[in-house]
Amino acid sequence: MSDTSEPTVTHVRWDDVPQEPMNDLIDRRMVTGQRIMVAQVMLKKGAVVPMHAHENEQLTQVIDGVLRFWIGSEDAEPIDVRSGEALHIPSNVPHKAEALVDTNDVDVFTPPRQDWLDGTDGYLRGE
């Protein structure tokens, strides 16, 4: 017997999604589907996302501010991503970011980040 149920459509107001503090300098909100996750990330000047890698493909769009990325290693030439720009990071590519000014970005992941969903993202929580 096949499943004939309709997919569920979700309409979300970002202001209604709880803001989750990650550490003193980073907050986020997330909306997740079956195969995609979108997060608003708010970083205060000086916030650092340590070097890490994940199986998830990532697209980061800076809405306001500037994020400096190091791709591959901390010795790599940095890439500054500014308001109105985006950066695609393929699966399993190590990367680090620092907010050069107060910055808001939108991160899209596929598949959804399981570590973000279950709270095992200690690298981002300063653990």
Mind listing the pLDDT tens digit for each residue in 24-69? 999 999 999 999 999 999 999 999 999 999 999 999 999 999 999 9
The domain that holds 60 is classified in CATH as 2.60.120.10
Q: Would residue 105 count as lying in a domain? A: yes
Residue 4: pLDDT over 70: no
Average pLDDT in the 7-19 region?
Answer: 93
Q: Does residue 1 lie within any of the structural domains?
A: no
9 vs 50: CA distance, rounded Å: 35
Residue 24 lies in a domain: yes
Structural domain for 55, as ranges: 17-125
Structurally, the chain folds into a number of domains equal to 1
Task: Detail the DSSP E strand segments found in the chain.
Answer: 20-21, 26-32, 37-43, 48-52, 57-64, 66-71, 79-82, 86-89, 95-99, 103-110
Residue 3 resides in a domain:
no
Whether 4 is covered by a domain: the verdict is no
pLDDT at 123: 87
C-alpha neighbours within 13 Å on the C-beta side of residue 114: 2
Domain membership of residue 103 (yes or no) is yes
Residue 25 lies in a domain: yes
Q: Name the token pair of 61.
A: 């769009």
* 4-13, 18-27, 98-107, 108-117: range with lowest mean pLDDT: 4-13
The pair of structure tokens assigned to 82 is 């500014």
pTM for the full predicted model: 0.90
**Per residue in 97-107, pLDDT tens?**
999 999 999 99
Tell whether 8 is covered by a domain: no
